[in-house]
Amino acid sequence: MTQTILLVEDSASLTAYLTPELQFEGYQVLLATDGQAAWETWQAQAATIDLVLLDWMIPKIDGLGVMRRIRKQSAVPIMMMTARDYVGDKVAGLDNGADDYLTKPFEIEELLARIRVLIRRNRVQSATQYVVGDLTLDTKARQVHRGGQLAQLTQREYDLLLVLVQHAGQALTRDELLDAAWGTEFDGQTNIIDVYIRYLRQKLERPGTAPLIHTVRGVGYMLQATNE
């Protein structure tokens, strides 16, 4: 089945280069050269789009604005593609819903490899429900319940929890969690994982509930129901 990529980029030379490369790999390409056109294309064809390749600095609505709008409706994979290489910009992009972040200039082989990873990951997650003890994670609805109560998670908290749930009972290192949940080479410290684990524990492990996320000394973290 042909997969469709929404390419949002205002550089004529880059779109002229990327479009045939993507088509050669078998993708159908929908092109938008500004944020308003991207949003209108998304609204009209969201059901057919498998991935959004999104430039940050585009006219009318910037890439971050487009991504925020899409994230209110969908978990479609989004890769930001931009010349902004400051760590703070990467964090902002990832925390607002990007699945990956590629800094220009880049090699086409790396772009294509990352696209394959994101589409494959989304296909695996597309209609799966995970249950660990009294925790339920529904990837189709992107909802997490603990003891029947809905947990309000941010995009990054959800992504990290999903990795833990998918590997329930396995000890994962901070590097493994960072790579799987952030989906890119992250220039910050791996202790960002500790910060987000703390956020998850605050939201999922209230007084009277058994711990789910366990610290594995010398390794990292593991999600496991205490009765398993």
pLDDT in tens, 134-149: 899 988 778 899 988 8
pLDDT, tens digit (0-9, with 9 covering 90-100), for 171-202: 999 888 888 787 655 555 668 899 999 999 99
Better pLDDT: 88 or 206: 206
pLDDT score for 208: 77
Strands, sheet with 149-151, edge to edge from the N-terminal-most edge strand = 129-132, 135-138, 143-146, 149-151
Name the CATH architecture for the domain at 4-125. 3-Layer(aba) Sandwich (3.40)
Range 124-132 contact pairs with CB under 8 angstroms and sequence separation of 24 or more: 125/75, 125/162, 130/162, 130/165, 130/166, 130/168, 132/165, 132/168, 132/212, 132/223, 132/224, 132/225, 132/228
CB-based contact 163:181 (threshold 8 Å): yes
CATH of domain 129-223: 1.10.10.10
Better pLDDT: 140 or 6: 6
pLDDT, tens digit (0-9, with 9 covering 90-100), for 103-120: 888 999 999 999 998 888
pLDDT score for 143: 86
Backbone angles phi, psi at 153, to 5 degrees: -110, 150
Question: What mean pLDDT do residues 1-15 have?
Answer: 92
The pLDDT confidence band at residue 228, using thresholds 50, 70 and 90, is very low
Q: Is the pLDDT of residue 227 over 60?
A: no
* From-to residues of CATH 3.40.50.2300 in the chain: 4-125
The reply to whether the predicted model has a pTM over 0.75 is: no
* CA of residue 196 relative to chain centroid, distance: 15
Backbone angles phi, psi at 137, to 5 degrees: -120, 120
Better pLDDT: 34 or 141: 34
* From-to residues of CATH 1.10.10.10 in the chain: 129-223
